[in-house]
Amino acid sequence: MINEYDEIKALLKRSRMLMEQPEPTNLARSIENEINADKQKDGEEIDVEKVKKDKSKTYRISGGLFTMHGKDKKDLELTTEEKTAFQETMDEFVNEVSDLSDFGVLNLYPNEVQWSGKVIDLDIEFFYSIGENNGVYINGDMIKLDETLTELITKLTTFYDKFKAKWAKVISQRKKTQIKTEE
């Protein structure tokens, strides 16, 4: 059974993988497989065919990478609203948190959004997750505890609320669109 510590540790591991992986589509598949392995209970089988059928497509938008995950090609189509939300997210982060940032891939799943990056001037990695593991996670080595760090953590947390509101809206809009097209 996985406890909260193990979940956070796994998320940080995935975040590091996002930052180091050169090819985002292969990374998305490996993270998805790892998530399924983490969720697997003793003796429970995972439907490998289902994992293989999941598709992903990566878009480069304003220098950032945006990967959409879904069951079919319709789930992988990028809308103008999603493209705008991604551009705004990166721009707002730079304006509100840190202008010295490297962004990882933003992964949009049917029920989850994950985004990571690094604040360069303080050498701190961040990971935002909306969905099953809601929250802001940070990682760094030998971080000096001072007012600058406290200020950054406050900015990361405040920005997460904006990030969550924006991307929760995107997820709900995608679900509405899927329901309308199926009828």
pLDDT digits (tens, 9 = 90+) for 75-127: 899 999 999 999 999 999 999 999 999 999 999 999 999 999 999 999 999 99
**Chain Cα centroid distance, residue 4:** 18
Residue 4 pLDDT: 73
**What does the alpha-carbon distance between residue 83 and residue 91 come to, in Å, rounded to a whole number?**
12
Residue 146 pLDDT: 92
Q: Provide the H-helix boundaries in the chain.
A: 4-20, 24-39, 48-53, 80-96, 147-182
Q: 66 near 18, Cβ under 8 Å? A: no
The SS3 call for residue 149 is helix
Percent of the chain with pLDDT over 90: 51
The torsion defined by the Cα of 114, 119, 125 and 130, in degrees rounded to 10, comes to -20
β 135-139/124-130 pair status: antiparallel
Residue 24 pLDDT: 46
163, 123, 125: which is closest to 14 by C-alpha?
125
Quote the DSSP letter at residue 31. Answer: H
pTM over 0.85: no
Q: Give the least confident one: 18-32, 95-109, 149-163.
A: 18-32
Which string of DSSP letters, residue by residue, matches 73-111? GGGGPPPHHHHHHHHHHHHHHHHHT-SSEEEEEEEE-SS
Residue 183: pLDDT band (50, 70, 90) is very low
Mean pLDDT of the chain: 81
- pLDDT of 129 > 60? The answer is yes
In what order do the strands lie in the sheet containing 55-61?
A: 55-61, 64-70, 101-108, 113-119, 124-130, 135-139
> pLDDT tens across 29-73, in order?
555 555 555 555 555 555 545 555 688 999 999 889 999 999 888
